[in-house]
């Protein structure tokens, strides 16, 4: 074990993957010698050469198109989009190409080796274009997997699993936690399962569900509620596509209450999908309506970022409202 | 280092004047100074067989669409030499990324008449499992990457595929076909720039057929055609007469050598004309004249190549008649079989979304099958073939 922040654990996962398999290749804007604007790819070019870790021109659609081609050739490209906010020029390549490559060819060809890494989320005073959480757009696209880690240990295991998964994965990295989240990370090679949620705290009164950076927030709210004698169960969804319906439904059936929280705007956020599915499968167990604590429906603000964020006090209020319903 | 000037002097947008490489005149004789590529008789006749097969196939399938037997078709009438001639200059290990009008390249690689038919009829033997509209072919065994409808998306993909081949040190390149309309897409610019900067051994072959559906190339871009973009991106570029099979063959052969030797991309702009409609959903009488079409019909690439074969003494009228008759018969027989084959079973609807279907997909299939069982008359093509 060694202490690493989230960036160091991602760098360590990439290093581990590249050392174990020479088909793994990392590229994107500023990813080469400089090691990425956040330094997630530091020293990889020195270690593995310019052929396997390199800068690309500034073209997100080009990066993902190129990555699709490499993956269909049999390589395992790990393509970086510098900010999740800039992924949209590549939307067509991801939605119409990456996601459909296997299906449309009848499995003659696939891009299962592809992993797209991109930082997402607010809390860094980044305004409209360095703060968004675009996961729901992609969750509407069969053929993709979507993974979001909450801490360094999770990040390494989930990223290694994403790179080796035989399906294309978008790996959203909570950039607010890049340096803020520090923890023990095994030095050896390990994978954590994709599509499996984790109950990080057991409880009997209310189920709190989130992913990525929002896990810190709902865990804090659970501590606040504990002082009121409310026992929260806290779940990290970890994968948004496919998502672990069974674990969430079982927990909701046990507690009778579910609160989902994400930073993205509430309307058509992934919380809506979760609420719809859980009410179908746990209707008679519910003691209160399923609640969502999310961003409001505005472009991500700058001066009002603190007010916009679905913080612990907002989650705490939802917990009380659910219990007192 | 750029040279200094001390008065503002623009380089005008039409300053480039890229010539067109031509070998064969319409009468089948060679231009003065041109030399024919090294094609032996058997191979030359195989190429003619490919050309005629595609022409007959296109004619028959446009007819099948008009009869309501398939929902859609897209012919390559007038452009057969560009795809057959270029594919003929490649090796079987070279990957092909096509747009949608390169059935000639696929035929040349060895796609069988039944494989064409099974795809067009979306039946259970279609390699694509009946999931895409007619003409969206793909075949791993023949190194022909499956076609997708969105325009230009294959361009950066081809650059990435070739980069993968390069990392593995293979004696192989990737060819990427697209039309001059697709060259306005962002993916064209992204893909060419990435291939140039990352030195990816890709042959970009633009079929400039004059029209993107109804939009003439004069309303698509200015400057000296698509070729001038290649120069702008620092890519070795050649313009060729796309109706001249020998020139396209020689150009592609040279492009392959260059791409391998320099481990870098090449752009070929093949000048041609789409003699038919864009697709069976299009009617060109609304946007161009009969005179224009007639002018280009005289430059028919298949006729030109036939004249050359005849000049060589390798072809005669009797053989010509027999070849057309034989392809017509084979294609019609195959069509009749393909249209009778059933569509894939309903279970295929959830396969290949992922490497294995997720529990959610399995659940959704179960519900769908239960519904089909309840209303079998509503879903006649699948209700009779449900497994337990």
CATH of residue A164 = 3.40.50.970
CB B72 within 8 A of CB B65: yes
CA distance B379 to chain A (A): 22
Predicted local confidence at residue B14, as pLDDT? 86
Q: What is the pLDDT of residue A292?
A: 98
Q: What is the Cα–Cα distance from B85 to B332, expressed in whole angstroms? A: 26
Spatial contact of B243 and B272, defined as CB atoms under 8 Å apart: yes
* Chain A nearest CA to B366, separation (Å): 17
Structural domains of chain A, count: 2
Statement: residue B236 has pLDDT above 90: yes
Query: Token pair 């750029």 is at which residue?
Result: B2
CA B279 to chain centre: 14
Are A150 and A237 members of one domain? no
Query: Residue A280 belongs to a domain with what CATH number?
Result: 3.40.50.920
- DSSP H helix total and E strand total for chain A: 12, 14
Residues A170, A35 share a domain: yes
Q: Which of B156, B194, B353 sits opposite A103 (nearest CB)?
A: B353
* For residue B388, pLDDT beyond 70: no
Domain boundary among the residues A124, A158, A185 is at A185
Note whether residue A80 is domain-resident: yes
Catalytic residue among A29, A97, A130, A263: A130
Cβ pair B217, B211 in contact under 8 A: yes
- Which of the listed residues A125, A160, A185 is the one where a domain comes to its end? A185
Contact B193 A52 (CB under 8 A): no
Contact A69 B157 (CB under 8 A): yes
Any catalytic annotation for residue B274? yes
pLDDT, position B326: 98
Which residue of A57, A66, A89 is in closest CB contact with B160?
A: A66
pLDDT in tens, B332-381: 999 999 999 999 999 999 999 999 999 999 999 999 999 999 999 999 99
Backbone angles phi, psi at A24, to 5 degrees: -80, 125
Mark whether A77 and A154 lie in a shared domain.
yes
Coil, helix or strand at residue B343: coil
Strand positions, DSSP E, A29-148: 53-55, 76-80, 115-120, 145-147
Confidence of residue B315 (pLDDT cuts 50, 70, 90): very high
Same domain, A162 and A24: yes
The answer to whether A72 contacts B157, with C-beta atoms less than 8 Å apart, is yes
Tell me if residue A130 is catalytic: yes
Question: What residues of B are in contact with residue A69 (Cβ under 8 Å)?
Answer: 97, 156-164, 174
Helices in chain A by DSSP H: which ranges? 6-20, 44-48, 60-73, 91-92, 101-104, 135-139, 152-164, 214-226, 245-255, 270-282, 305-308, 312-323
- Determine what percent of chain B is predicted with pLDDT higher than 90: 98
Nearest-by-Cβ selection for B153 from A59, A65, A77: A65
Looking at beta carbons, which residues of chain A come within 8 Å of B194? 56-57, 59, 62-63, 65-66
First-last CA distance in chain B:
73
Q: Tens place of pLDDT for every residue, chain A, 325 residues?
A: 999 999 999 999 999 999 999 999 999 999 999 999 999 999 999 999 999 999 999 999 999 999 999 999 999 999 999 999 999 999 999 999 999 999 999 999 999 999 999 999 999 999 999 999 999 999 999 999 999 999 999 999 999 999 999 999 999 999 999 999 999 999 999 999 999 999 999 999 999 999 999 999 999 999 999 999 999 999 999 999 999 999 999 999 999 999 999 999 999 999 999 999 999 999 999 999 999 999 999 999 999 999 999 999 999 999 999 999 9
What value does the mean pLDDT take over residues B257-261?
A: 98
Rg (CA), chain B: 23
Does the active-site annotation cover B287? yes
Ordered by where they begin, the domains of chain B are 20-340 (3.40.50.970), 346-383 (no CATH)
Residues 6+ apart with CB under 8 A from A195: A145, A239, A242, A243, A244, B358
Examine the predicted complex and report whether its ipTM is higher than 0.95.
yes
- As beta bridge partners, residue A117 has A80, A171
Evaluate if residue B82 carries a pLDDT over 70: yes
Same structural domain for residues A163 and A210?
A: no
Residue A138 and residue A136: Cα distance in Å, rounded? 5
- Tell me what pLDDT residue B1 has: 79
Closest CA to B78 of B286, B305, B280: B305
Q: What are the tokens at B119?
A: 């795809």
A266 and A224 within one domain? yes
Q: Mean pLDDT across the stretch B1-11?
A: 93
For residues A34 and A124, state if they share a domain: yes
The answer to whether residue A286 sits within a structural domain is yes
CA-to-CA dists, residue A264 to A85, A154, A176, A270, B289, angstroms: 12, 22, 14, 9, 54
pLDDT value at residue B316 = 97
Give the DSSP H/E element, type plus range, for residue B312.
Answer: helix B301-312
Domain match, A168 and A212 both: no
Looking at beta carbons, which residues of chain B come within 8 Å of A75? 164, 167
pLDDT of residue B385: 87
The reported pLDDT for the residue numbered B79 is 97
Task: Find the domain containing A133 and state its range.
Answer: 2-185
**Residue A141 within any structural domain of the chain:** yes
B186 and A145 in contact by Cβ < 8 A?
A: no
Q: Quick check: is A63 in a domain?
A: yes
How do A2-5 and A182-185 pair as beta strands?
Answer: antiparallel
Tell which of A121, A154, A185 closes a domain: A185
Do A176 and A302 share a structural domain? no
User: In this structure, are A17 and A78 located in the same domain?
Assistant: yes
- To the nearest 10°, report the CA torsion of B218, B219, B220, B221: 60
Same domain for A161 and A230: no
Are residues B177 and B255 in contact, defined by beta-carbon separation less than 8 angstroms?
no
Summarize pLDDT for B181-221 with one digit per residue, the tens. 999 999 999 999 999 999 999 999 999 999 999 999 999 99
- Residue A73: which of B156, B165, B193 has the nearest Cβ? B165
Long-range contact set of residues A271-276: C-beta below 8 Å, sequence gap at least 24: A273/A139, A274/A209, A274/A237, A274/A243, A274/A248
Q: What is the predicted pLDDT for the residue at B36?
A: 94
**Of A263, A239, A241, which is closest to residue A139 (Cα–Cα)?**
A241
Cα B112 to its chain centre, rounded Å, is 16
Closest residue in chain B to residue A144, using alpha carbons only:
B354
A91 in a domain, yes or no? yes
Q: Which residues of B touch A73 (CB under 8 A)?
A: 95, 160-161, 164-165
How far is residue A198's CA from residue A195's CA, in Å, rounded to a whole number? 10
Whether residues A147 and A16 fall in one domain: yes
Q: Is residue A192 part of a domain?
A: no
Over residues B27-70, the pLDDT tens digits come to 999 999 999 999 999 999 999 999 999 999 999 999 999 999 99
Asked if residue A193 is part of any domain, the answer here is: no
Distance from CA of A223 to the nearest CA of B (A): 34
Q: Which of B131, B157, B197 sits opposite A106 (nearest CB)?
A: B131
- Length of chain B equals 388
Q: How far is CA B300 from the centre of its chain?
A: 18
Taking the CA of residue A244 and the nearest CA in chain B, the distance in Å comes to 10
Q: How far apart are CA A100 and CA B289, in angstroms?
A: 39
Return mean pLDDT, chain B. 97
- Which residues on A lie below 8 Å from B129 (Cβ)? 106-107
Count other Cβ atoms within 10 Å, centred on residue B371. 11
Question: Has residue A219 been placed in a domain?
Answer: yes
Which chain B residues are within 8 Å of A107, Cβ to Cβ?
A: 129, 351-352
Largest CA-CA distance found in chain B, in angstroms, rounded? 83
* pLDDT tier at B387, thresholds 50, 70, 90: confident
């Amino acid at each position: 074990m060694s202490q690493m922040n989230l960036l160091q654990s991602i760098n360590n996962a990439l290093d581990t993957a590249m050392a174990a398999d020479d088909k793994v290749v990392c590229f994107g804007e500023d990813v080469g010698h400089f090691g990425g604007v956040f330094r997630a790819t530091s020293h990889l070019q020195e270690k593995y050469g310019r052929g396997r870790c390199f800068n690309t021109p500034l073209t997100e659609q080009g990066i993902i198109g190129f990555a699709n081609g490499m993956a269909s050739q049999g390589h395992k490209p790990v393509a970086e989009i510098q900010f999740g906010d800039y992924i949209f020029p590549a939307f067509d390549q991801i939605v119409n190409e990456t996601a459909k490559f296997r299906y449309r060819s009848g499995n003659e060809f696939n891009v299962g080796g592809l992993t797209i890494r991109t930082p997402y989320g607010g809390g860094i005073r980044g305004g409209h274009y360095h703060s968004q959480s675009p996961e729901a757009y992609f969750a509407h696209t069969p053929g993709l997997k979507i993974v979001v880690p909450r801490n360094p240990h999770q990040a390494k295991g989930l990223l290694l699993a994403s790179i080796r998964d035989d399906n294309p994965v978008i790996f959203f990295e909570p950039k607010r936690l890049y340096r803020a989240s520090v923890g023990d990370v095994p030095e050896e090679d390990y994978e954590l399962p994709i599509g499996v949620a984790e109950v990080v705290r057991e409880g009997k009164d209310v189920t709190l569900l989130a992913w990525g950076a929002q896990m810190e927030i709902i865990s804090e709210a659970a501590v606040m509620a504990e002082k009121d004698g409310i026992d929260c169960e806290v779940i990290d969804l970890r994968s948004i596509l496919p998502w672990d319906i069974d674990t969430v439904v079982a927990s909701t059936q046990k507690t009778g209450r579910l609160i989902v929280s994400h930073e993205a705007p509430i309307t058509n956020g992934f919380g809506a999908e979760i609420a719809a599915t859980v009410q179908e499968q746990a209707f008679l167990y519910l003691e209160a309506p399923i609640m969502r604590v999310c961003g409001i429906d505005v472009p991500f603000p700058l001066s009002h970022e603190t007010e916009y964020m679905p913080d612990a006090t907002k989650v705490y209020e939802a917990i009380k409202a659910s219990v007192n319903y | 280092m750029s040279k200094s000037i001390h008065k503002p002097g623009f380089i005008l947008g039409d300053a480039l004047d890229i010539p067109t490489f031509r070998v064969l005149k319409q009468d089948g004789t060679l231009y003065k100074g041109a030399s024919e590529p090294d094609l032996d008789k058997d191979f030359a006749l195989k190429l003619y067989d490919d050309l005629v097969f595609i022409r007959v196939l296109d004619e028959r399938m446009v007819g099948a669409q008009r009869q309501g037997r398939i929902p859609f078709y897209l012919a390559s009438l007038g452009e057969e030499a560009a795809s057959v001639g270029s594919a003929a200059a490649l090796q079987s290990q070279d990957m092909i990324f096509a747009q949608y009008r390169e059935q000639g390249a696929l035929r040349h690689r060895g796609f069988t008449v039944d494989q064409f038919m099974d795809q067009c009829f979306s039946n259970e033997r279609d390699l694509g499992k009946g999931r895409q509209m007619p003409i969206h072919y793909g075949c791993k065994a023949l190194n022909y990457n499956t076609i997708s409808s969105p325009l230009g998306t294959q361009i950066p993909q081809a650059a990435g595929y070739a980069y993968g081949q390069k990392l593995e040190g293979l004696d192989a390149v990737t060819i990427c076909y697209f039309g001059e309309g697709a060259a306005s897409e962002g993916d064209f610019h992204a893909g060419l720039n990435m291939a140039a900067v990352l030195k990816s051994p890709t042959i970009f072959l633009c079929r400039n057929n004059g029209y993107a559906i109804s939009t003439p190339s004069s309303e698509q871009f200015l400057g000296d055609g698509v070729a001038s973009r290649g120069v702008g991106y620092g890519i070795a570029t050649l313009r060729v007469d796309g109706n001249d099979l020998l020139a396209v063959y020689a150009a592609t052969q040279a492009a392959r050598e260059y791409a391998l030797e320099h481990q870098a991309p090449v752009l070929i702009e093949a000048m041609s004309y789409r003699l038919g409609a864009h697709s069976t959903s299009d009617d060109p009488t609304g946007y161009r004249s009969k005179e224009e079409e007639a002018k280009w019909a005289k430059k028919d690439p298949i006729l030109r190549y036939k004249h050359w074969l005849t000049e060589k003494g390798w072809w005669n009228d009797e053989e010509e008649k027999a070849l057309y008759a034989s392809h017509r018969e084979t294609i019609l027989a195959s069509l009749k079989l393909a249209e009778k084959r059933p569509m894939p079973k309903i279970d295929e609807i959830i396969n290949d979304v992922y490497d294995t279907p997720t529990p959610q997909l399995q659940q959704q299939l179960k519900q769908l099958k239960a519904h089909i069982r309840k209303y079998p008359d509503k879903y006649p093509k699948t209700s009779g073939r449900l497994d337990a």
